[in-house]
Amino acid sequence: MVDYVDALRYARERNIILADEFYSLDLNTRQYAGTVSRLAAVEQIKTVLDLVNKSLEDGSTFQDFKKQVEAKGIELSEHHLANVYRTNMQNAYAHGRWQQQQSNKESRSYLKYTAINDSRTRPTHLALDAVIRHIDDPFWQTHYPPNGYQCRCSVLAITEKQALRSGITADDQLPTNVVDNGWSFSPATYSRNLNQVLDQKIDDNILDATQTAELFDMKETAVVHQQANDSIHEALKPLTDTNRKILDDLFEDVASKGRDIAPSHGRFVVELSIEDEKLTDLLKDVVLKKDQDRKSKSIFDWMNDSFNSMLNFAKNLKNKLTGNNLKGFDALNLQKGNVIGIQTPTLFKTAESAGKNITILDMKGKAIDLGKINGLDGALLAPNLNLEVVSVTDTDVVLKYTDDVATRLFIANNRIYRLY
């Protein structure tokens, strides 16, 4: 899996200002997780069938065939599957990084190849270390990493001034025969939704009807995930300087604690903490539709993954939460014994002008403590959270967490609730 926090740390150490897209970069690779793991299994089947055909052509014995299968890493399948999965995720991340660099090329118009100088790096890859070429140079369409399985190389975007100071690599100084045999990757043309890869597998005509049907289903799933990601991108606000500072500080804190959190998960919490209506509307819509269409289910899963990821980092450890602002809450006609079911992550805080004082009991581990994130305050209540009304007066409301489930769905001020 991509270590996003290391990427952020690397950029900050070199005073590189990352584009807004960094904080949603993992959405470019999110769709691959399920698709690639399924594709890996099909790839394994195809590899075995290819070897069967080769054995028939060569007149090989079963023992020869068995050795060939083992040589492909399919003896227990784990290595082969992991390699296919890791490679496709790596390619997807490289594609996202390329898009990010393209969007910022007016200020950083050159790219610098960076290889890790240790015993694990292939000499051919090490030969590319410190190569500098213009971002639009055709060189990058054939040499942008990864340049082979488990390649650890990367590319740094730099300014023209930095490129001239370091020295732009001349044509006759470019290494040849660098890319591993059989390897092919182009950052500009890499398919965002795996359609090209899947179409190629379908056209191979080596799989049976069941396996081909599996490929068609994978293709449909990949398209659905891409549509979901597009909707999430559209719902995210452009980052203000303040919110960028909150995110930068958050991920620096994450890195200092040896953790890794996907960028969009942090942005998700910041957006909801500043009451992003567009994102809230999207989440409200997918909660209503998640059982009817796959796109909504994909966004719903991202919502839960984002919340749980940040909950593990900034979990509320208090049994009692207090505040006076729970969006949509004043619209509820509550009575003692009612159970409120909160369906989407909901901001709970103290505001200068708000309604009744609200106390929520038994909340340890059931909310994100926004006070643990520099620049934020309050709490973000977990989705699918059930709260029982303990008492109600003209000035105060006391709630407590309960395992009882609310049954009646309704909407108040763009927040979805269930009540009984």
Residue 20 DSSP code: G
CB 206, CB 52: distance < 8 Å: no
Both tokens of 360, joined, read 């929520």
Q: Cα(292)–Cα(177) distance, rounded to whole angstroms?
A: 51
Alpha-carbon span 417 to 341, nearest angstrom: 5
Neighbours of 310 (CB within 10 A): 25
For the cut 70, the answer to whether the pLDDT of residue 385 exceeds it is yes
Instruction: Answer whether residue 392 shows pLDDT above 70.
Output: yes
Per-residue pLDDT of 44-53, as tens digits, reads 555 654 554 4
pLDDT for position 41: 53
- DSSP per position, 126-161: HTTTT-EEETT-THHHHHSSP-STT---EEEEE-HH
Percent over 70 (pLDDT), the chain: 62
CA 362 from chain center: how many Å?
32
- Token pair 């065939």 is found at 65
What's the pLDDT tens digit per position in 333-379? 678 888 888 888 988 888 766 667 889 999 999 999 999 999 999 99
Helix (H) or strand (E) holding 209: helix 209-235
State the pLDDT at residue 76: 41
Residues 284 and 278: their CA atoms lie apart, in Å, by: 10
**What does the alpha-carbon distance between residue 204 and residue 49 come to, in Å, rounded to a whole number?**
12
Task: Provide the pLDDT for residue 21.
Answer: 65
pLDDT of amino acid 193: 42
Q: For 143-198, what is each residue's pLDDT tens digit?
A: 898 888 778 888 999 999 999 999 999 998 988 766 665 566 666 555 444 455 55
* pLDDT given at position 178: 66
Q: Which has more pLDDT, 36 or 95?
A: 95
Q: What are phi and psi of 194, to 5 degrees?
A: 65, 10
pLDDT digits (tens, 9 = 90+) for 224-271: 887 888 899 889 888 888 998 899 889 888 888 878 788 889 999 999
Q: Phi/psi at 107 (nearest 5 deg)?
A: -95, -25
Q: Is 49 exposed, middle or buried (0-12, 13-18, 19+ CB in 10 A)?
A: middle
Q: Please check whether residue 314 is in contact with residue 249, taking contact to mean a CB–CB distance below 8 angstroms.
A: no
Q: Is the pLDDT of residue 132 over 90?
A: yes
Does pLDDT of 408 surpass 80?
no
Of the pLDDT bands very low, low, confident and very high (cuts 50, 70, 90), residue 141 is: confident
Rg (CA), the chain: 26
The better pLDDT of the pair 58, 91 is held by: 91
Q: Which residues on neighbouring strands pair with residue 102, listed in sequence order?
A: none
Cα 148 from Cα 160, distance rounded (Å) = 29
Nearest alpha-carbon partner for 228 in 317, 150, 301: 301
What sign for the dihedral angle of Cα 86, 92, 97, 102?
positive
In this prediction, residue 97 has a pLDDT band, given cuts at 50, 70 and 90, of: confident
**Tell me, what's the pLDDT at 142?**
84
What amino acid occupies position 302?
W
How many distinct helices (H) and strands (E) make up the chain?
14, 14
Judge whether residue 383 has pLDDT over 80.
yes
Count other C-beta atoms under 10 Å from residue 261's C-beta: 20
Sign, Cα dihedral of 118, 123, 127, 129: negative
Mean pLDDT of the chain: 77
410, β-bridge pairs: 417
Tell me the backbone φ, ψ of residue 18, rounded to 5 degrees.
Answer: -75, 145
Determine what percent of the chain is predicted with pLDDT higher than 90: 28
Q: What is the pLDDT of residue 47?
A: 61
Looking at the whole model, is its pTM more than 0.75? Answer: no
What residues does each domain of the chain span?
Answer: 242-311, 321-419
Q: Phi and psi of 415, rounded to 5°?
A: -115, 135
**Given a cut of 70, is residue 308 above it in pLDDT?**
yes
Q: Can you tell me which residue has the tokens 């999207």?
A: 282
